[in-house]
Amino acid sequence: MGRNHIAHLPGPPKENHAKMPLKKLFSAALAAAVTVSCISPLAAETPVAEGFEALTGENDFSQWHGCPNLDPRKYAEQSDEKKAQWNQEIKDHWSVAEDGTVINDGHGAYLTTNEDFGDIELRLKYKTVARADSGIYLRGTPQVQIWDYTDPGKAKIGADKGSGGLWNNAAGAPGKDPLVLADKAFGEWNDVRIVQVGARTSVWLNDKLVVDHALMHNYWDRSLPLFAKGPIQLQTHGGEIQWRDVQVKRLSAEEANAILASHGQEGFEPIFDGKTLAGWTGAASDYQVLDGAIQCREGRGGNLYTEKTYKDFKVRLEFQVPAGGNNGLAIRYPGKGNPAYAGVTELQVLDNTAEKYSKLDDRQYHGSAYGMAAATRGYLRPVGEWNFQEVTVKGSQIVVELNGSVILDTDLSKITDYMADSAHPGKMLEEGHFGFAGHSDPVRFRALSIQTIDGE
């Protein structure tokens, strides 16, 4: 939880650990306000799994520093003196036992990775005491909750449901409360596995699924998606906690896309066979099937769209944008005219990083409802990598989820301000085709499927 939510009662006497002094952790460099701390080498009990790297372990616990409950966007703005103070708190309140266990006394700054992480699988073990309260910050954001589920004083805020939930999600949101109570008894080690792609977060506690592919909310700014990257933090919050075997795996674009595609598949039907343009119509000569993908021919670019029409639906797809690439998703397109105006909308597919696009209207960047509603930028994969996108169209509501993060959630019926004061006469169409609005660039699409909503 955030540090101001609840006062903590003292726990029972702490275990008597044989602790190693951390004098080497903060050398003379600390006095000079160096912001990166170095902790003594640790001996990992669990071997590092294939594809993972140890954040605690022999000669490999040097990539951490101190930071409190702070919006990660503001860390760089802090003074060297403030950063040194937080590092001193690590020295004062964190220690390492002879067996390599990292121990915190319940106070001080949080142990924070120097490096920012995006899509990851994180594994670790923790052990805490009665009435303690802690958590794991992901992308510098609270948090996967850890607390005493037996404490009646916290039952009214959900402690009785157990640890592992995304406690700082909004009330009633998926993931806020764990699906099952999975905590072990005090004195036993709890095993945590977290898989996070974009904001989509799954948590297993002691091999039990407690959060299932839920969107983690941005605690610092609820109007924005969870940050694309940020540090991992081990929280201290009023009671002793021990950590060990912290390991992280960076997920590739292919791994991340596969995770996103594997959830919520029921009801989706393919609309592209991977070999031909069967089921598609319009400017078919401007497109080709190449290596299992539909690609707009370079220098050409009409509108290619499904023979079928749809009312309310979800569409899933992967797309690849070349440097400077531009295309669009035609939503409820009537089969003639410019999809951005004649249809409900054209959802931009664009290389946001291209210099030639640096001065566009905000409503022209990737994921935006063209000329009407701006999507949040910063969630595209690097040029040339495959992105995963899901679009939900229900009535006049459009939701675009890119690589696991919701970058657009808008009701077109409420929009009255248009780019260049250009009317959008088709925005309230109730049915139409799904397709692509080519703009002469070899943008590619694959793994296309549609789920109709409410059986329509």
CA separation for the pair 159, 149 (Å, rounded): 5
Instruction: Out of 2.30.130.30, 2.60.120.560, 3.90.1750.10, 3.40.50.300, select the CATH number for domain 19-251.
Output: 2.60.120.560
Buried-exposed string 116-153: b where 16+ CB fall within 10 A, e elsewhere: ebbbbbbbbbbbbbebbbbbbbbbbbbbbbbbbbebee
**Fold type of domain 257-452:** Jelly Rolls (2.60.120)
19-251 against 257-452: fold identical = yes
Going by the DSSP 8-state scheme, the letter that residue 362 receives in this structure is G
Element (H, E) at 241: strand 241-250
Tokens 């616990």 — which residue?
Answer: 61
Please report, to the nearest 10 degrees, the dihedral formed by the alpha carbons of residues 212, 214, 220, 225 taken in order.
140
pLDDT tens column, 246-285: 999 999 999 999 999 999 999 999 999 999 999 999 999 9
Count the residues in the chain.
456
pLDDT tens column, 390-418: 999 999 999 999 999 999 999 999 999 99
pLDDT tens column, 45-97: 578 889 999 887 554 457 899 999 999 999 999 999 999 999 999 989 998 88
Residues 6 or more apart in contact with residue 108 via CB below 8 angstroms: 66, 89, 90, 92, 93, 94, 236
Q: Is the pLDDT of residue 44 over 50?
A: no
pLDDT tens column, 210-238: 999 999 999 999 999 999 999 999 999 88
Neighbours of 391 (CB within 10 A): 21
Query: Closest by alpha carbon to 68, among 165, 169, 137?
Result: 137
pLDDT tens column, 295-315: 999 999 899 999 999 999 999
CA angle 60, 61, 65 (to 5 degrees): 145
Please state the domain extents for the chain.
Answer: 19-251, 257-452
CA separation for the pair 382, 238 (Å, rounded): 41
